[in-house]
């Protein structure tokens, strides 16, 4: 889903975007099976903000 949204944003907003579209996803690790580990594995506000600012 995220990849499709990024593709549409890049295609439709190519001339109006201030920066290239980037994707921030879950860590490169196996999907955890407990909710507590899943919260650590998924992207959070800090990780998204770091990707925007880099």
pLDDT single digits (tens) 1-54: 778 888 888 888 878 888 888 888 888 889 999 999 998 898 889 988 998 888
Calpha distance 16→38 (Å, rounded): 35
Contact by Cβ (8 Å): 43, 50: no
- pTM for the whole structure: 0.56
- Which of 53, 42, 51 minimizes the C-alpha distance to 22? 51
pLDDT reported for residue 36: 92
- CA 9 → CA 1, 15, 24, 28, distances in Å? 12, 11, 15, 24
pLDDT in tens, 30-40: 999 999 999 88
pLDDT reported for residue 1: 78
pLDDT reported for residue 13: 83
């Amino acid at each position: 889903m995220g990849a499709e949204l990024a593709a549409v944003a890049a295609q439709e907003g190519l001339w109006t975007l201030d920066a290239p579209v980037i994707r921030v996803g879950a860590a490169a690790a196996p999907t955890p099976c407990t909710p507590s580990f899943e919260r650590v594995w998924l992207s959070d506000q800090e990780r998204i903000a770091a990707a925007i600012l880099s």
